[in-house]
């Protein structure tokens, strides 16, 4: 079921703001975004250049006022937990080898700061990490008519933007990825003596992943509000272009903030049911296995929330200055103004929104 506000938003974009979707005023795509078919069980979908089959369609799990851990699960999650328990505790050794590979780039950014440098190293990136799919970059998305679309890609899940996918937007969970993440977390708990079951490890894996992907949606929602005001392609030519230019690099800030958001939201959601210290260590363990932009969240977690907000505001200012240049002497010093935009990142998706499980 498509969230009604998203349906309205897509209609407004296509009738009033089509130049933000298709590159210029009056441009007409071969197929309008609003006519993109909503995925159904058994249907095919291409994400991150890979073909998948829709295994299940469920509603976004309840995470606001849970009465138990069961409230974080839908029918497909329960099937996956049952499969995990039947398959046993073991991890494929090949999966382990990939899961614990670290970032190949030297950590030359000791202090996490928002900066302007987008210079890239060329060539193929071949690391298989626990969260990111690595492939040769193909450059920034020029506009949403681009065949590649705009997908925030991971091996655990994908966020597909409504700018590029219309009503087929949303979170796509890779079933195998969730299983691997749950087993990885469970093994870590066994090593540290935490009394957390495989099923509970799955809940942690699922909730962490869900909040991480929701943050990508929050960025898109934020950009869309600015687009309505400015009539400029701030998502496609701003946030999305920056993401493409910096993908897998130290200054891919969206992934850093997505992990930071996932850390605090997951901890707040689950600490009524699981030990807070265990949750903290589990998430630090997971982030520490990840590439640099994801791992940079570790530099913010033990800092004040004000510092994190300051960094996030700088990121917003950096993107907006692509469209509204300021005197270079001021740099990102105007970023404090974003503190006034209190609900700018309020998501459109709700517990009535569909999520997809792919194989």
Q: Is the predicted pLDDT of residue 145 greater than 60, yes or no? A: no
Instruction: Give Cβ neighbours of residue 79 (< 8 Å, ≥ 6 apart).
Output: 56
Residues 188, 304: Cα–Cα separation, whole Å = 28
Within 8 A by CB and 6+ apart from 16, the residues are none
Can you give the pLDDT at residue 250? 75
Q: How far apart are CA 10 and CA 21, in angstroms?
A: 10
Enter the pTM of the model. Answer: 0.81
Q: Quick one: pLDDT at residue 2?
A: 60
Per-residue b/e over 159-176, b at no fewer than 16 CB within 10 Å? bbbbbbbbbbbbbbbbbe
73-87, 144-158, 201-215, 243-257: segment of lowest average pLDDT: 144-158
Q: Mean pLDDT over residues 30-43, rounded?
A: 79
Window from 87-96, 172-181, 350-359 with minimum mean pLDDT: 87-96
The reported pLDDT for the residue numbered 104 is: 30
Considering only residues 222 and 8, tell me which one the structure prediction assigns the higher pLDDT. Answer: 222
Residues whose CB falls within 8 Å of the CB of residue 213, separated by 6 or more in sequence, listed in order = 152, 157, 158, 159, 171, 258
Mean of the per-residue pLDDT values of the chain: 77
- Indicate the SS3 state at residue 221: helix
For residue 31, what pLDDT band results from cuts at 50, 70 and 90? low
Looking at residue 17, its pLDDT comes to 80
| CA separation for the pair 269, 72 (Å, rounded) | 9
pLDDT higher than 90, residue 278:
yes
pLDDT tens across 330-348, in order?
667 778 888 888 788 888 8
pLDDT digits (tens, 9 = 90+) for 224-249: 999 988 888 898 888 888 887 877 67
Tokens 């970059």 -> residue = 137
The radius of gyration computed from the CA coordinates of the chain, to the nearest angstrom, equals 20
| pLDDT at position 328 | 66
In order, the DSSP letters of 43-62 are: -EEEETTEEEEEEEEEEPPP
Q: What is the DSSP string of 132-168?
A: -----------STTSTT--EEE-SSEEEE-HHHHGGG
Most distant CA pair in the chain, distance? 62
Residue 3: pLDDT band with limits 50, 70, 90 = low
- What the block records as the tokens of 53 is 């089959």
Q: What is the structure's pLDDT at 60?
A: 85
Give residue 90's pLDDT band: very low, low, confident or very high (50, 70, 90).
Answer: low
Length of the chain counted residue by residue: 359
* The pair of three-digit structure tokens given for residue 356, joined into one six-digit string: 């997809």
pLDDT at 154 over 80: no
- Among 125-139, 201-215, 227-241, the range of highest mean pLDDT: 201-215
- The model's pLDDT over 37-80, given as tens digits with 9 standing for 90+, comes to 889 999 999 887 789 999 999 988 766 678 899 999 999 999 99
Q: Could you write out the DSSP letters of every residue in 263-295?
A: HHHHHHHHTTTS-HHHHHHHHHHHHHTS-HHHH
Beta bridge partners, 50, equal 47
């Amino acid at each position: 079921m498509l969230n009604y506000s998203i349906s309205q938003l897509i209609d407004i974009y296509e009738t009033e703001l089509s130049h933000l979707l298709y590159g210029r005023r009056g441009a007409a795509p071969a197929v309008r975004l609003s006519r993109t078919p909503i995925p159904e069980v058994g249907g095919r979908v291409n994400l991150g250049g890979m073909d998948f089959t829709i295994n299940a369609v469920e509603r976004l799990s309840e995470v606001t006022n849970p009465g138990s851990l069961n409230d974080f699960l839908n029918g497909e999650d329960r099937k996956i937990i049952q499969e995990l328990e039947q398959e046993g505790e073991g991890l494929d050794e090949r999966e382990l080898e990939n899961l614990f590979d670290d970032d190949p780039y030297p950590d030359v950014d000791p202090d996490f700061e928002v900066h302007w440098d987008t210079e890239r190293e060329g060539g193929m990136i071949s690391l298989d990490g626990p969260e990111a799919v690595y492939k040769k970059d193909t450059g920034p998305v020029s506009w949403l008519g681009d065949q590649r679309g705009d997908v925030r890609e991971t091996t655990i899940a994908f966020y597909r933007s409504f700018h590029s996918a219309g009503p087929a937007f949303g979170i796509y969970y890779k079933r195998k990825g969730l299983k691997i993440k749950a087993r990885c977390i469970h093994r870590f708990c066994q090593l540290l003596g935490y009394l957390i079951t495989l099923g509970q490890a799955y809940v942690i894996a699922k909730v962490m992943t869900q909040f991480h992907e929701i943050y990508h949606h929050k960025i898109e929602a934020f950009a869309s509000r600015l687009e309505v005001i400015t009539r400029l392609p701030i998502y496609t030519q701003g946030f999305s272009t920056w993401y493409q230019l910096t993908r897998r690099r130290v200054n891919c800030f969206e992934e850093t903030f997505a992990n930071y958001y996932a850390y605090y939201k997951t901890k707040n959601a689950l600490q009524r049911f699981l030990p807070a210290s265990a949750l903290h260590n589990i998430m630090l363990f997971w982030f520490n296995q990840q590439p640099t932009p994801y791992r940079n969240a570790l530099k913010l977690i033990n800092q004040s929330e004000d510092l994190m907000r300051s960094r996030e505001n700088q990121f917003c200012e950096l993107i907006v200055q692509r469209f509204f240049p300021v005197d270079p002497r001021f740099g990102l010093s105007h970023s404090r103004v974003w503190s006034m935009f209190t609900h700018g990142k309020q998501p459109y998706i709700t517990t009535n929104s569909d999520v997809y499980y792919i194989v």
